[in-house]
Structure 1
Amino acid sequence: MAEAGEKETPEQFEKRFSTLVIHGFVSLSTSLGIQSGLFEALIKLKDEERTVKEIADTAGLKERYVKEWLGVMVAADIVDINPETEKYSLPPHRIPFFQSGSSVSDLGAVLTALPIFGGVYQKLLDCLKKDGPRGLSYSEYTDFHSMMSRFSSRWVLNHMVQDFIPSMPQIEEQMKSGIRILDLGCGRGSASLVFAESYPNSTVVGLDFSQEAINYGKERAKEKGLTNVEFVCEDAACISEDWNNTIDYIYTNDVIHDLAHADKILLALNRILKPDGVFSMIDPDCNTKHSENASNDYRSRLYTMSLFHCLPISLFFEGSVGLGTCWGREKATEFLKDAGFRVDSITKPVGSSQAHYMCTKKVK
């Protein structure tokens, strides 16, 4: 890549573009390895060298396909091979990156989004056309809640009560004493369950519009014997007025930017929050202007996820504000203020690349 201020040459761009294309193909194969159980098999076999047959048999897969997949992994320096024995191994330092809920990284979970996005590729092409559909229904994205649960669980399990809540001492003390908590857009309920387990004196409500996700959360709560958490399937924009001024703490993570009518929902959240309550909005950390996100690999990933999921599910609904994943700090702050919130701080939670907007109600 050219140095800052220098003009990029065609050769430099070709090299950079070639690397980008190669990484795209390798990412797809890596995702296949995660979802097929191949990495799980390699981990189960530990770091000892194994034959193709041993790996295939452990994973319960066809040997010939496994051999081809291993070719990708060896060429990409993800799986090691002994040139004398032609046996394979996954080195110990790489293992945590492919373990669900690992404290190391959530990159493996992110990769599993690729086949989901591939499944809507042709339909997204139609959405781009001027006379095409507005967007895509959430139902078009098979197994999306499962992917998001894998993606968010690492941070929730390793940082929620260890770092995040303690960063707000006043909220932590209230949770220990007993308050009413709303986990908006709870998905399969990983955060709701952690709240309920960690703060038994508090009451937790997990709210999501996906019945599949809500049913999953209910089952997990039942398995854990938790009686201080309930899961509700409802559109947040339609929260009853009976909820007005009843919630002490509202938590959302990777939710608000997906909402078609985020402006109305933020108004509803302000309405149900107690006058002295706190609203934690965790959302991707970026800037609103494209020019301020330039030459940023992480944000290019966010824009891709937005293009293939967040934006089309939002635009599917008439009158959508169409925020997209990268609506950015500037627009997010504007929306929060318009909904009656005061943004007290914007910080990065420990272990996360997201932004935490800690908000309270404006004093009238």
Structure 2
Amino acid sequence: MTLQILDSSKIETFADKLFGTLNNGALAIMTSIGHRTGLFDIMAQLPPSTSQEIADAARLNERYVREWLGAMVTGGFIEYDRDRQTYYLPSEHAALLTRAASPDNIAAFAQYIPLLASVEEPIIDCFYNGGGVPYSEYKRFHQVMAEDSGQTVVAALTDLILPIVPGLTEALKRGIDVLDVGCGSGRALNKMAKTFPNSRFTGYDLSQDAIAVAQLKAQSLDLTNIQFRVKDAATLDEIEGYDLITTFDAIHDQARPDVVLRGIFRALRNDGVYLMQDIRASSEVSGNMEHPAAPFLYTISCLHCMSVSLADGGMGLGAMWGEQKALEMLKEAGFTRVEIEQLDHDFQNNYYIVRK
């Protein structure tokens, strides 16, 4: 038997990485709390302040604020003056942690970590027994996704995303028929309906709660050119009804994305455009070694995107289905022309301009 000699420096390096992982995981949870409680937003407006002053300004319990500050100080997020016992959020950090910093607010994305951790037990059961975890088990997921898409999609929709399709903005101004499949709470579609009153908009989503939110928002905006319906995207059966069909981060979650894409193909008019925003990645793990958010995205995929699809007896593509698989499935659905655009503000997504 050959005795394996371990490289002590490699062990030490990996140990450091593991300790960093533990600290960063903890900081992710605390970052989510800082975002949800508004602590980052409050501190961005305060001079160096005591824990009591910060708690009072945020209307929170001082003892919990003080412990949270301990994590933020030792984690390098917040500066601490030992003599005065005051805490300060540098402007350079606030530029990545506050709602005012959107679309650069990374704190909003930190919410995914505790949200996904809440389904750890049923996910572990899936490791042993297969299957998946249904959407209903993910509390706040639609809310977090709406905030996520609000930064990456809604905020950039009219100025950056729609203009990547030549002539689309002008067509929307004149008036066309638009469908958003997997519209969620309808933030993108409501914005388009308000911006382009001559066009007609329809949104489909499987979630009754999300559609209810979308409808209420449309009513509050007095929009008359938009409708939302609870509908499974796999049952899309319209024929050449739309000039523009959009999906924003929706296809890879579907139980049967192949069926959904074929339905979109049929529903699109011959001279229409399908605009698909989805995760920018390779279908092969080796192609994602330099991806800046690969571990994060594979984790979201495993604990949500893949699992909700499998829970419905689906294909379980997952968020990291990748560009190669996306192009393959678009071709199989019948599309013959596909261009891929990328935007500077959004390192995470590809924008596929798809035509028949």
TM-score, with structure 1 as normaliser: 0.91
Written as runs of structure 1 = structure 2, the 5 A alignment for 1:11-160 is: 11-43=12-44, 46-100=45-99, 102-129=101-128, 132=129, 134-160=131-157
Aligned to 1:245: 240
Specify the SS of the correspondent of 2:60: coil
Answer yes or no: is the 8 Å Cα contact 1:280–1:356 preserved in 2: yes
Q: Is the 8 A contact 1:106 1:151 kept in 2?
A: no
What's the CA shift for 1:33?
Answer: 1.7
Note if contact 1:113-1:147 (Cα within 8 Å) is conserved in structure 2. Answer: yes
- Matched residue of 2:83: which SS? coil
The residue identity in structure 2 corresponding to 1:298 is A
Q: Pairwise mapping of residues 183-194 of structure 1 onto structure 2 (< 5 A)? A: 183-194=180-191
Match of 1:212 among 202, 209, 213: 209
**1:79·1:89 contact (CA, 8 Å) conserved in 2?**
yes
Q: What does residue 5 of structure 1 align with?
A: none
Judged with a 3 Å threshold, the aligned counterparts in structure 2 of structure 1 residues 192 and 50 are, in CA distance, closer, same or farther, namely same
Q: Which of 318, 324, 331 in structure 2 is aligned with 1:324?
A: 318
Aligned-residue offset at 1:73 = 0.4
Which range moves more in the overlay, 97-106 or 328-337?
97-106
User: Structure 1 residues 101 and 213 mapped into 2: Cα distance closer, same or farther (>3 Å)?
Assistant: farther
Letter in 2 for 1:33: G
Distance apart, 1:59 and its partner CA? 2.2
Is the Cα contact below 8 Å between 2:202 and 2:227 reproduced in 1? yes
1:138-173 CA-to-partner distances (Å, cap 9, x unmatched) read 000011111001111013343111111112122222
Structure 2: how far apart are the matches of 1:210 and 1:120? 19
Q: CA deviation at 1:317?
A: 1.4
Write the distance in 2 (CA, Å) between the matches of 1:297 and 1:304.
14
Alignment-derived partner of residue 182 in structure 1: 179
Q: Which stretch of the first structure deviates more once superposed, 144-153 or 296-305?
A: 296-305
Which runs of at least 4 in structure 1 moved beyond 4 Å after TM superposition?
Answer: none
SS in 2 for 1:220: helix
Letter in structure 2 aligned against 1:14: A
Aligned 8 A contact 2:272 2:355 in 1: yes
Question: In the alignment, what sits opposite 1:3?
Answer: none
Structure 2 residue runs without a partner (length 5+): 1-8
Would you say the 8 A contact 1:101–1:153 is kept in 2? no
1:261 to 234, 256, 259: 256
Equivalent position of 2:288 in the other structure: 293
Separation in 1, partners of 2:230, 2:208: 6
- The code of the aligned residue for 1:88 comes to Y
Tell me the distance in 2 between the aligned counterparts of 1:31 and 1:109: 7
The runs of 5 or more residues in structure 1 that have no matched partner are: 1-7
Distance in 1, matches of 2:86 and 2:206, equals 48
Residue identity over aligned pairs, in percent, reads 34
Query: Following the alignment from structure 2 to structure 1, what is the Cα–Cα distance between the partners of residues 218 and 163?
Result: 24
Check 1:40–1:159 CA distance in 2 against 1; reply closer, same or farther (3 A cut). same
How far is the alpha carbon of 1:106 from its aligned partner? 4.1
Contact 2:165–2:353 (Cα < 8 Å) also in 1: no
Q: Which residue of 2 aligns with 1:4?
A: none
- Is contact 1:302-1:326 (8 Å) kept? yes
The question of whether the paired residues in 2 share the 8 Å contact of 1:164 and 1:350 is answered with no
Contact 2:35 2:98 in 1 (8 A): no
- Deviation at 1:37? 2.8
Residues 1:271 and 2:272 are matched in the alignment:
no
Report Cα offsets for 1:232-269 as digits up to 9, x if no partner.
110011124xx210110011111100001000010000
- Are the equivalent residues in 2 in contact too, given 1:336–1:343 (CA < 8 A)? no
Residues 164, 341 of structure 2: 8 Å contact kept: no
